[in-house]
Chains A and B, each alone.
Chain A
Amino acid sequence: MLSDQRLDAVDIKTVLQRTPPAYVRVSGRVASVQNPKEPRRSVDSGGSIGSSDSVVILRDLTGELPAQCLAAPPLGSWVIVEGQWNGAEVTQGRCMVQSVPRLPFPAAESDWRWLHDEVSRRGRYLMQRAQVMKTVRAFFDRHSFIEVETPLLVPSPGLDVHLSAFEVEDASPSRFLITSPEYQMKRLVGGGLPRIYQTCKCFRQEELGPLHEPEFSMLEWYRALATSGDLMRDTEELVTEVARAILGGTTQIPALGRPVDVKPPWARIRVDDAFRRYAGVEVDDILPDEEHFFRVLVEKVQPQLGSPKPVFLTHWPASMASLARLESEDPSRADRFEAYIDGVELCNGFGELVDPIEQRQRLEADQARRASLGLPVYPIDERFMSALQEGLPPCSGNALGLDRLVMLTLGAPRVQDVIAIPTDRAVL
């Protein structure tokens, strides 16, 4: 509800209930008229009427509010009501009808989406999402991270076999939308920014479902001279801080239905142990059949991870982490971790590979795999390679799905519920 009062992830009614009775000016769309009476005089668009006969419910994405109004403004019109806030409604005021849609055809009331309660629920999610962003920024600010912005349009989108990038048509030289800001952010670490973070959009083709949007928000951060263990601790603290800020102090988040207490520490479990425990199979017996590996992962392992406490899955097979360093005690496993909450993968982090020779070999191997699978083979990002050749400090990074974090913290069933304008939604 637009008003002179400050909105901070709570609806206007809550804001007003905290303030003493005062003269207020609010606006919103007329969602219902509770005691309609005959108008005393005709209503013109933009006109001002002095009487306060009916109670109208004003609604917008931020909530709803009862206000005494002129006889009966048309449903759906935007109005401004000025008057006294008495603790429950706006009374004794002036009501100005701002606009009434005039359509050449009668609209069915059932089509008026602002009539539905879903509108205010969606608005609450969006306000709380803004609060999550503030908490995230405060967290990284306090830990002396610098917020950066890196290009979304790049010469190489990454060679991961299982990611499909959007190519920009007619770009010369050819350009792609990023699937992750990793190459660009590591260049900045090499350039001498030891702690950086950013939130940006990433783009992945053919990914659409309750946990996937082709255009989604990523929170990614890097620490020089830090281990993946340090990044896991960052993750625990960040998620806890977000929960506390949004849910009024509690660390119990509703997740997808099974509440999860995100208070640190979270358990760490190796991929090998998780496969043994939840699927009764040895990873080394499955590999190198990656399709089999991922089938077991999504069918048997993932659904059991992250409830009633989040968990980190660590020590991934080396072939599944071409930008991570290998574990020194077992080079068949990579220094890679993922966090799970209520079966949902929340982030993916690496102890980063900084050896330029090994990195080039791995990227060339990825190119060869893409070629053998008939996938488009993107060039190796030579600007990223130069950064490695000039020397990258030992560092670790993590990429966290922001939409999923908001979804799990608020208990929304789909990421689309917490994205302002998701791709499959024709109307708000």
Chain B
Amino acid sequence: MYDTSDFRKGLKVLIEGQPYVIVEHQFVKPGKGQAFTRTRLRNMITGSTLDRTYRSGEKLAPADMEERQMQYLYPEGDDRVFMDTKTYEQITLTEEQLGANVYFLLDGTTVDILLFEGRAIGVTPPTFVELQVTETEPGFKGDTSSNVTKPATLSTGLTVHVPLFVNQGDVLKIDTRSNEYVERVKK
């Protein structure tokens, strides 16, 4: 069991049978009153947020989560199919469950599949992926400043802000945590 003093960002807890992750938490206490921890949690299945105020010392059960490495195979309608390369077991996740991570799935990408009580509920892509630019305004040669940006559409459909020197066909390194451009990859 976790005590309110164990609370930290990213802690996974069980509330009414659902897995939640702590997004924010703050110690609050009236000078002459009871201490609480004001907490914001995100439901790891539905993505909805929940605000709860816990009395100091209150306890929450840890959510039984497991991560397994799997390979992305192919899309199937609105679903995406993954396979455990050791057991050949296959699982599917919906676009809704994948959220923005749907933009980081390339054929053969190895990802971490998040399982709650044995059921797949989400995916953690590699921290960085390399994606090709399919559409952007022509670049300006010699302009290497990165303060001015323009939008660029990538092969998976993701749109990011890139420096002016980036051209169509360039391969870019993208940070999957922030969905942001990191650098151009020399190819």
Contacts and interface: CB of A to CB of B under 8 A. Distances in A.
Contact of B27 (A212, A297, A321, A345): A212
A295 B27 contact: no
A294 interface: yes
A77 to B, nearest CB: 31
Given A211-B28, A294-B30, 7 more contacts: A160-B32, A163-B32, A206-B56, A294-B34, A294-B36, A320-B32, A348-B32
A293 B36 CA distance: 12
Nearest to A336: B32
A209 B27 contact: yes
B32 A207 contact: no
Contacts of A297: 30, 33
A300 B134 CA distance: 50
A302 B34 CA distance: 14
A162 B27 contact: no
Contacts of A299: 38, 53
A290 B34 CA distance: 8
Interface in A52-74: none
Interface string B72-112: 00000000000000000000000000000000000000000
A420 interface: no
A298 B31 contact: no
Most chain B beta-carbon contacts within 10 A, residue among A208, A209, A302 = A209
Most chain A beta-carbon contacts within 10 A, residue among B5, B33, B34, B53 = B33
Interface in A258-291: 290-291
A236 to B, nearest CB: 19
Given A162-B34, A206-B35, A207-B35, A298 B55 contact: no
A210 B26 contact: yes
A207 B55 CA distance: 13
B28 A162 contact: no
Interface string B32-58: 111110100000000000000101100
A335 interface: no
Nearest to A323: B32
A345 B35 contact: no
A308 B28 CA distance: 22
Contacts of B177: none
A338 interface: yes
B119 interface: no
Interface of B: 5, 26-36, 38, 53, 55-56
Contacts of A290: 33-34
23 contacts: A162-B33, A162-B34, A162-B35, A206-B35, A208-B27, A209-B27, A211-B28, A212-B27, A290-B34, A291-B55, A294-B30, A294-B34, A295-B36, A295-B53, A295-B55, A297-B30, A298-B30, A298-B53, A320-B32, A338-B31, A345-B31, A348-B32, A401-B31
Interface string A287-327: 00011011101110010000000000000000011000000
A61 to B, nearest CB: 28
Contacts of A208: 27
B32 A321 contact: yes
A197 to B, nearest CB: 18
Contacts of A210: 26-27
Nearest to A401: B31
Contacts of A211: 27-28
Interface string A25-62: 00000000000000000000000000000000000000
A210 B24 CA distance: 12
Nearest to B25: A209
Nearest to A299: B53
Contact of B28 (A291, A298, A348): A298
A179 to B, nearest CB: 10
A338 B33 CA distance: 12
